[in-house]
């Protein structure tokens, strides 16, 4: 079976996470939550980073600890778990993963891959439209769909897969490289991908009669490559990324440049919700924690939020709030294909359990448009109804907006039914009995 190209490059990153799990010092609070990771099975996440298998207990069944697939306790504290001991596998009793305030209105974010190292992936307005607005089988736009969109590159843009475990394999990009990414991948010829989304939302607003409808975007941030000592100039000095303060300055520049270019386009139909931390695990060997805390504080000072979606059982997932993230989800990496990251259906229980313990949302994933993948994604949705994560903020990995476009217009009734199920899930009206399986 054909493997998803977004995951292909991740195989090369396995050695990095092995080193991090085995050798990296961890804060005391995190050490217990991650203690089972180095002895667990290895896989690869959405961004191609290594993962480990872990907790599979039914939500609500364990008040004091969660247990790995090998029977080893993760060591989560009684205080952490007892506060969620009343959680149940029914949606009515589930704990919301959304904090109060600015983030409470957000329900969903669709990952939109916009290119890799060799090319920009051009997404047309017509491809965005069925993700922006629900299109009936008769072709009419009936309602809104996803309320936010994450713009991100494929992993081969971010990593160089060389022997650089200290900075997680980050490609040695300079300021000029980050500038090209921001400019060309978002705002290229004919309005680029961001312009296509704005156009699609404009069409949806007119069709739905929702003049005030304005979904948001999340823009990706990357950890700097510490071996770059001549990154470029900002704040009146040339940055040396081996220094923590210069790493912070570089990431701050990226935030500011993202905002500057977005505002320069004067979009009428979309807004910036905030930023997406691309790295899917917290690297305790470099200075990622310090950078994350610094930049999330800065982003909040500007009125935006930062979201994170670590891979299954990634280092640091249980401490996401301490790093400054405003919302977080965890990937189950449940797939039925011959890929290094494949995990079983029991992981849907595991992520629901993690949600109840750590107030995480869930990343709902679809590997491709084959029947088996459609079935797997339907199981994600059913688990969301059964275990309650339908009620919180979730991230959606459906390959690209073109996948939504394809299943919406599919001649296969089964593929089309996933589009309809997803719409109901987004609107929190889906019932388990609504979901048909082959």
Where does residue 3 rank: exposed (0-12), middle (13-18), buried (19+ CB within 10 A)?
A: middle
pLDDT of residue 161: 64
Over the stretch 341-364, which tens digit does the pLDDT of each residue have? 678 999 999 999 999 999 999 999
| pLDDT-derived band at 285, boundaries 50, 70, 90 | confident
CATH number of the domain that 367 lies in? 3.20.20.70
Over the stretch 178-208, which tens digit does the pLDDT of each residue have? 999 999 999 987 789 999 999 999 999 999 9
Domains of the chain: total: 1
Cα(82)–Cα(432) distance, integer angstroms: 29
| pLDDT-derived band at 388, boundaries 50, 70, 90 | very high
pLDDT of residue 236: 93
pLDDT of residue 315: 92
| pLDDT-derived band at 126, boundaries 50, 70, 90 | very high
pLDDT of residue 68: 31
Over the stretch 225-280, which tens digit does the pLDDT of each residue have? 999 999 999 999 999 999 999 999 999 999 999 999 999 999 999 999 999 999 99
CB contact at 8 A, 366 and 425: no
The pTM is what?
0.81
User: 10: domain range?
Assistant: 5-434
Residues 6+ apart with CB under 8 A from 135: 129, 141, 142, 408
Cα(180)–Cα(338) distance, integer angstroms: 35
């Amino acid at each position: 079976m054909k493997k998803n190209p977004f995951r292909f490059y991740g195989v090369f990153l396995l050695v990095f996470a092995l080193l991090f799990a085995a050798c990296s010092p961890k804060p005391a609070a995190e050490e217990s939550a991650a203690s089972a990771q180095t002895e667990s099975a290895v896989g690869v996440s959405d961004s191609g980073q290594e993962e480990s298998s872990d907790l599979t207990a039914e939500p609500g069944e364990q008040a004091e600890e969660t247990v790995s697939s090998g029977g080893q306790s993760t060591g989560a504290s009684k205080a952490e778990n007892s506060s969620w001991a009343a959680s149940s596998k029914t949606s009515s009793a589930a704990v919301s993963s959304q904090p109060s305030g600015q983030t409470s209105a957000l329900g969903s974010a669709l990952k939109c891959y916009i290119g890799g190292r060799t090319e920009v992936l051009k997404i047309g307005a017509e491809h965005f439209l069925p993700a922006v607005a629900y299109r009936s089988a008769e072709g009419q736009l009936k309602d809104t769909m996803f309320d936010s969109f994450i713009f991100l590159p494929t992993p081969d843009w971010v990593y160089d897969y060389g022997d650089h475990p200290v900075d997680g394999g980050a490609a040695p990009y300079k300021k000029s490289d980050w500038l090209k990414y921001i400019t060309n991948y978002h705002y290229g010829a004919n309005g680029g991908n961001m312009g296509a989304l704005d156009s699609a939302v404009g069409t949806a607003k007119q069709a739905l009669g929702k003049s005030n409808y304005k979904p948001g975007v999340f823009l990706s941030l990357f950890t700097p490559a510490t071996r770059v000592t001549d990154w470029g100039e900002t704040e009146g000095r040339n940055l040396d990324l081996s220094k923590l303060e210069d790493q912070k300055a570089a990431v701050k520049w990226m935030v500011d440049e993202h905002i500057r270019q977005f505002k320069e386009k004067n979009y009428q139909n979309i807004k910036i919700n905030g930023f997406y931390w691309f790295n899917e695990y917290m690297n305790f060997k470099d200075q990622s924690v310090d950078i994350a805390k610094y930049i999330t504080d800065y982003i909040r000072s500007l009125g935006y939020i930062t979201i994170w979606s670590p891979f299954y059982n990634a280092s640091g997932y249980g401490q996401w709030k301490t790093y400054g993230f405003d919302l977080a989800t965890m990937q189950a990496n449940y797939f039925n294909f011959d890929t290094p990251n494949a995990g079983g259906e029991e992981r849907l229980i595991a992520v629901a359990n993690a949600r109840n313990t750590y107030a995480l949302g869930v990343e709902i994933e679809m590997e491709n448009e084959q029947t088996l993948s459609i079935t797997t994604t339907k199981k994600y949705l059913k688990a969301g109804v059964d275990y309650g994560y339908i009620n919180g903020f979730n991230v959606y990995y459906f390959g690209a907006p073109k996948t939504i476009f394809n299943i919406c217009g599919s001649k296969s009734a089964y593929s089309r039914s996933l589009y309809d199920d997803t719409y109901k899930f987004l609107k929190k009206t889906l019932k388990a009995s609504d979901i048909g399986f082959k």
